[in-house]
Structure 1
């Protein structure tokens, strides 16, 4: 019993370190330039920890290696970040607008926002395995988000839970959010067949 508890706390400590490095590298990349490399490093490092790859490597070295695998994707990170910011800002202004079309525009913007987040997450997932151009990755991500609609809804549910967690208790979200989101996303994406 004591050894199982010890193993549990060792994994928890590793997950906390991964969360810390996620925030550190996200801030190091000025957030908008580091979304894709940080998300990739989060997902791959958590997968490596669960597979036991981290035993020979330090968590910091493992995270840095996974981050640098997609560190050149700054322009795509920038485009995803800017599109997310623009859609979210448009949602704010449409909600303040009193018109008969505001509900329809809000629904369209929410759909586009959800699709943007799904494209980002599926792209990060497929970039782990594929060396394709961005056009192919985005198309594959779009078709996968439709083909695996139940998984896409599960990811969106996870994002909504993380959003409410962040609004309810931000400190809990900062500490637990990245690794809980990464573990949930890895669990969901194991059902996606790599094409």
Structure 2
């Protein structure tokens, strides 16, 4: 009986180690794909590819992660406009969050502005997440995916809140540990998105 329990624990432990290894590999190739796509133009390609790759990995596809990224990324290279607009908005909101506001602005007003920018930054990421998920899982044009993304972000408010909370946790941990940000955060978020939006029904 004890041997059976030990065997189960070992199996679960090895399964956890394998999952972490897969997350690390997927995150690593996410950044590689992003850089190869010239960062601002490749955000959609990289994230959509990672969503699809994580799905293939969890389904037990034995194809090496590097090959999966190479094969799948070509499917999402036509969304440079979405990547550029999303990148611009994230940088714009980030500038207000990071750069100190003029001293002429009261502390209360500055706090409101900072909070608003953080909120818009997170909403931009959430909308981008919905659009990417739709592009991967539904046969819709980009225009319809964007409109549907807005619709789902509002209608599925509880799921939207979960995505925001997930981002806050990952950003908080990443702020304290840059290695976590590089090798785990992207794939953990992609896996979380898969779980949160898996049974999404209109």
TM-score, with length taken from structure 1: 0.87
Pairing 1:170–2:178 present: yes
* Residue of structure 2 equivalent to 1:64: 70
Q: Is the 8 A contact 2:26 2:50 kept in 1?
A: yes
* Residue of structure 2 equivalent to 1:91: 97
Q: Is the 8 A contact 1:95 1:106 kept in 2?
A: no
* Residue of structure 2 equivalent to 1:12: 20
Pairing 1:82–2:88 present: yes
Pairing 1:127–2:135 present: yes
* Residue of structure 1 equivalent to 2:144: 136
- 7-16 vs 90-99, which deviates more? 90-99
1:26 Cα deviation from its structure 2 partner: 1.3
Residue of 120, 131, 140 corresponding to 1:112: 120
User: CA, structure 1 residues 190+96, in 2 after alignment: closer, same or farther (shift >3 Å)?
Assistant: farther
1:9 Cα deviation from its structure 2 partner: 3.2
Pairing 1:155–2:179 present: no
1:139 Cα deviation from its structure 2 partner: 1.2
User: CA, structure 1 residues 7+67, in 2 after alignment: closer, same or farther (shift >3 Å)?
Assistant: same
Pairing 1:39–2:47 present: yes
Q: How many residues align?
A: 192
- 17-26 vs 102-111, which deviates more? 102-111
Pairing 1:192–2:190 present: no
Distance, in Å, in 2 between the alignment partners of 1:24 and 1:94 is: 32
**Structure with max Cα Rg:** 2
User: CA, structure 1 residues 116+129, in 2 after alignment: closer, same or farther (shift >3 Å)?
Assistant: same
Q: Which runs of 5+ in 2 are unaligned?
A: 1-6
Q: Which runs of 5+ in 1 are unaligned?
A: none
**SS of equivalent to 1:141:** helix
1:128 Cα deviation from its structure 2 partner: 0.9
